[in-house]
């Protein structure tokens, strides 16, 4: 894809990284500091407590690791499991595929449950496996809460229901990279043992912090884990927590200040209001897709994601051309179709610090691009459907009056 200068601001509508709000940018615009000074440990202590709120956990222990979501995956696995441990893991799209690849390369015994791309995790198969596992050979269930490749969200409460139904002690490890701070997530209520996210998603920060919340059960499991780990070892963090210095190695000072500002924005709006906002924007996007006469890659309404919509295109259109043209002509960044859905879908990300007018601008841009590539869209149809819904569903407590 050749680089061309495009005037105006880049309109970033991929499902992460996302737009960074101005208060967060300003908070990060600072010099380096000594992380061993009193100031950084004091801020870190409040961050570790406040970040638990985005997981809706009071019992969990949090870790802020200078890494991406991939590093957070590895941390969750290596701190709670040992090589050869049996894992049930669900393959429903590109990111669940990558996590499974990591699990296999770390020498776990991965029992893969695969679904068609566009479907959620097959929980009937999980129930069968749990029912037949009287010896409790399954040590963990690994599931991606929100699969961004296909726009599928899984129901974690049903996974917990099945574990409880069969009184199974397996750990529940959840990738919440593109869901936490945007979708309903209840770590303690759903009995999630390790949940993780990345700073560049709904928190609306730059990439660089893997955020992990571990239950007391997960911390207990970490005491007997035999997996090799160094950089991601929770024991090192816990040691420095007790010392009150918090960091076993150098953190990104600027990202910590950015995280402070991002959390303050979330709490000012109210986490439940943030989740409701994402629900509205997700619904509006799906209505626009319907008005265009196109279909959602996600095959059932129960799996619809409120952070990303994967749009199927007709067979005579290469969805990669839509993404290329969006960037080159309109300075609009949309998500490519990945792996099995490459060329078949394009993705509209609608997560993070985002409002209605920004989304409507994106949808107007998509309509122009569809027209450009020869799809017979009626200009304004998707925007009209989305704006009518948004106008009729104004939040009861707007963020500004």
Give the annotated binding-site residues for substrate: 347
Whether 11-18+270-392 and 22-267 share one fold: the answer is no
How many Å from the N-terminal Cα to the C-terminal Cα in the chain?
43
Asked if pLDDT for residue 17 goes beyond 70, the answer is: yes
Calculate mean pLDDT across residues 28-35.
Answer: 96
Architecture of the domain delimited by 11-18+270-392 = Alpha-Beta Complex (3.90)
Give the annotated binding-site residues: 347
Mean pLDDT of the chain: 96
pLDDT value at position 145?
Answer: 98
Asked if pLDDT for residue 349 goes beyond 90, the answer is: yes
Residue 387 near residue 380, CB atoms below 8 Å: no
281-286 long-range contacts (CB < 8 A, ≥24 apart) are 281/306, 281/350, 281/354, 281/356, 281/359, 282/306, 282/307, 282/309, 282/350, 283/389, 283/393, 284/356, 284/359, 284/385, 284/386, 284/387, 284/389, 284/390, 285/309, 285/348, 285/350, 285/359, 285/363, 285/386
Tens-digit pLDDT profile for residues 245-290 = 999 999 999 999 999 999 999 999 999 999 999 999 999 999 999 9
Q: How far, in Å, CA of 28 to CA of 345, rounded?
A: 35
| Domain range annotation of the chain | 11-18+270-392, 22-267
Q: CATH number of 22-267: 3.40.50.620, 3.40.50.300, 3.40.640.10, 2.60.40.10?
A: 3.40.640.10
pLDDT value at position 401?
Answer: 46
pLDDT value at position 133?
Answer: 98
Quick one: which H or E segment has residue 43?
Answer: helix 39-50
Asked if pLDDT for residue 151 goes beyond 60, the answer is: yes
The band of 2, judged by pLDDT with boundaries at 50, 70 and 90, is: low
* Full-model pTM: 0.96
Calculate mean pLDDT across residues 358-370.
Answer: 98
Asked if pLDDT for residue 400 goes beyond 60, the answer is: no
pLDDT value at position 3?
Answer: 63
Tens-digit pLDDT profile for residues 83-96 = 999 999 999 999 99
Asked if pLDDT for residue 396 goes beyond 70, the answer is: no
Tens-digit pLDDT profile for residues 198-219 = 999 999 999 999 999 999 999 9
């Amino acid at each position: 894809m050749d680089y061309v200068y495009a005037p105006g601001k880049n309109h970033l509508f991929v499902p992460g990284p996302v737009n960074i709000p101005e208060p967060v940018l300003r908070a990060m615009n600072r010099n380096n500091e000594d992380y061993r000074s009193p100031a950084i440990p004091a801020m870190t202590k409040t961050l570790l407590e406040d970040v638990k709120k985005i997981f809706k956990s009071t019992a969990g222990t949090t870790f802020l690791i200078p890494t991406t979501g991939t590093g957070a995956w590895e941390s969750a696995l290596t701190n709670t499991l040992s090589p050869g441990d049996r894992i049930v893991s669900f393959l429903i799209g590109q990111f669940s595929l990558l996590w499974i690849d990591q699990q296999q390369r770390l020498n776990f015994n991965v029992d893969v449950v695969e679904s068609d791309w566009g479907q959620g995790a097959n929980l009937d198969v999980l129930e069968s496996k749990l029912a037949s596992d009287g010896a409790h050979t399954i040590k963990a269930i690994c599931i991606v809460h929100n699969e961004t490749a296909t726009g599928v969200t899984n129901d974690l409460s049903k996974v917990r229901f099945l574990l409880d139904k069969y009184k199974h002690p397996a750990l529940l490890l959840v990738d919440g990279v593109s869901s936490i701070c945007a979708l309903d997530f209840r770590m303690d209520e759903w009995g999630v043992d390790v949940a993780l996210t990345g700073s560049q998603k709904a928190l609306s920060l730059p990439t660089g912090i893997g955020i992990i919340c571990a239950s007391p059960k997960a911390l207990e499991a970490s005491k007997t884990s035999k997996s090799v780990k160094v950089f991601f070892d929770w024991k090192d963090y816990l040691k420095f927590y007790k010392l009150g210095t918090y960091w076993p190695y150098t953190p990104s000072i600027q990202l910590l200040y950015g995280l402070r500002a991002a959390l303050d924005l979330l709490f000012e709006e109210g986490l439940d209001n943030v989740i409701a906002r994402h629900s509205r924007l997700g619904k509006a996007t799906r209505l626009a897709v319907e008005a265009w006469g196109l279909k959602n890659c996600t095959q059932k309404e129960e799996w619809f994601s409120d952070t990303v919509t994967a749009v199927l295109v007709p067979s005579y259109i290469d969805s990669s051309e839509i993404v290329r043209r969006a960037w080159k002509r309109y300075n609009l960044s949309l998500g490519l179709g990945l792996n099995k859905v490459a060329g078949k879908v394009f993705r509209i990300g609608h997560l993070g610090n985002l409002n209605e007018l920004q989304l409507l601008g994106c949808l107007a841009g998509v309509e122009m691009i569809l027209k450009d590539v020869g799809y017979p869209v009626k200009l304004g149809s998707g925007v009209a459907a989305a704006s009518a819904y948004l106008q009729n569903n104004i939040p009861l407590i707007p963020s500004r009056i």
